[in-house]
Amino acid sequence: MAVIHRTTLKPTKLELLTSWLPSRPWYRGGVAEPTLAKGGGFRLDDPQGEVGVEFLVATDTSGPRPTSYLVPLTYRGAPLDGAEHALVGTMEHGVLGRRWAYDGCHDPVSLAQLSALIEGRVQAQDQNISDVPDREVTASRTGEGPLPTDFTATDDRDGTRLTTPQGTTLHLHRVLQPAPAGPLTPARGATGHVTGSWRLPDGTRARGMLAVLHGGPRT
């Protein structure tokens, strides 16, 4: 299990995202610099214990209405070869030293653990406490057999589409939409999904769809 260190980060995660988010095609803010607050999220453990994997919710309050973004991040102790385009920035960690932060949609460790989450082989972990599951994150799928992990990420206005040569598509919702009360149901034809909760600026909690899977092994 990953160990959560109570220490400093320079710059902070939100400071890195302040300059990175406006460069994304799914960013909904205007010309003003985003004003970000942490809205929640969860972690996934790297089986090798080398890479930190966090699905962070950052809420921008600079516009007329708050917008919550889902940002998968991975934290590495050395640069990831071939992923220069996915680098969000570097940070100095008070315990671990320099850390390279990447968009997790381009990191094979993050993608493998996200597939494992949807398959039900791993459980989401609390964002702030070591060795504590996050019970608010749920995942479901139809069919059996391992999901592919060789995803290619493409960003557009609607979010990030993770596709494979086999035809599997995992749509990551970057702009989170609170769902109405009641059971959450994915789009028609979906073969899997991940749901979760986050905190709104007024202190209430919202719940919604984080990712939706189409295709993949079936029985």
Domain ranges of the chain: 9-214
Q: What is the pLDDT of residue 27?
A: 96
Per-residue pLDDT of the chain (219 residues; tens, 9 = 90+): 566 666 778 999 999 999 999 999 999 998 889 999 999 999 999 999 999 999 999 999 998 899 999 999 999 999 999 999 999 999 998 777 799 999 999 999 999 999 999 999 999 999 988 889 999 999 999 878 889 889 999 999 999 999 999 899 999 999 999 998 777 777 788 999 999 999 999 999 999 999 999 987 654
List CB contacts of 25: < 8 A, sequence separation 6 or more.
155, 156, 157
Residue 203 CB partners (closer than 8 Å, separation 6+): none
CA torsion, ordered 124, 153, 161, 156, to nearest 10 deg:
120
pLDDT, position 202: 92
pLDDT at 6: 66
Q: pTM for the whole thing?
A: 0.93
Closest listed residue to residue 199, CA positions, set 48, 51, 73, 42: 42
pLDDT at res. 217: 66
What pLDDT is recorded for position 2?
61
pLDDT score, position 219? 47
